[in-house]
Structure 1
């Protein structure tokens, strides 16, 4: 029989794992934008009759808003009495959802640039990527978002007792 329990990593490797995921998502967006910029023959800043000029900013704003709201909702539903490993697994899920909701509009903006050559779309993607970088997971952000106690903070550092 196959055991279908989720794999829960140790708290001291959690930050490394989520940081690598974050970095990979940023690198993918930046590399895609760079390659797209290099292969696009013509660039413009106009074309107000193009439908993308309305869709891309709306998607970007919606992605930013929904990612923040959904992240806060998912984090608020994490049981404060749960073990740290369980909290971190739920927090990782919330972060991945947040990152996905930001990455989608960024990639759409890059594809819109590729189709139209409008540099405004790369600017929008750049702004999303900058916000993405600002959201880099740190130990302090995790502690603040999860309202960790002293023992849990020590366990997250790897200096405390691991149960």
Structure 2
């Protein structure tokens, strides 16, 4: 039988974990975009009659708006009286949802580029990737988003106990 006991990790490990998840998602998008650029033969910047020219920007803007609204909603639902471990787990889930809602339109734009050769789609994906980089999780952002108190900030900095 597999031991289902949760892994005890300190808050510094938590920050590293979500940073690695974030970096992996960015790297995947960049590598996919680079591979698409290298394998697609006819590059163009002309506007086309493809439906993708309308769908990709709408998806990008919708992903941006929905990811921000849903992230804020999920973070606001985190109980302020919960232990730090519970808050961080809920925060990680909110971040993953946010990242997924941004990564989907980015990947769609890259696939649209592969199908049409239109560089505008790589520009859309590039804009999403740039915003993704801006959203890099840091201790300060976690403290601000979760409105952590003094003791919780100390625990997140590693000065407190291992939770």
Q: TM-score, normalised by structure 2?
A: 0.95
Q: In the TM superposition, what is the alpha-carbon distance from 1:7 to its structure 2 partner?
A: 5.1
1:44 aligned to 2:44?
A: yes
Provide the aligned length of Structure 1 versus Structure 2.
Answer: 163
Q: In the TM superposition, what is the alpha-carbon distance from 1:30 to its structure 2 partner?
A: 0.2
1-side partners of 2:105 and 2:73: how far apart? Answer: 21
Gaps spanning 5+ residues in structure 1: where? none
Runs of 4+ in 1 over 4 A off after TM superposition: 1-8
> 2:11 is matched with which residue?
11
> 1:123 is matched with which residue?
123
1-side partners of 2:151 and 2:162: how far apart? Answer: 10
Q: TM-score, normalised by structure 1?
A: 0.95
> 1:87 is matched with which residue?
87
> 1:148 is matched with which residue?
148
Q: Check 1:93–1:7 CA distance in 2 against 1; reply closer, same or farther (3 A cut).
A: farther
| Stretch moving more, 53-62 or 42-51 | 42-51
- Higher relative contact order, structure no. (Cα contacts within 8 Å, ≥ 6 residues apart): 2
2-side partners of 1:8 and 1:128: how far apart? Answer: 34
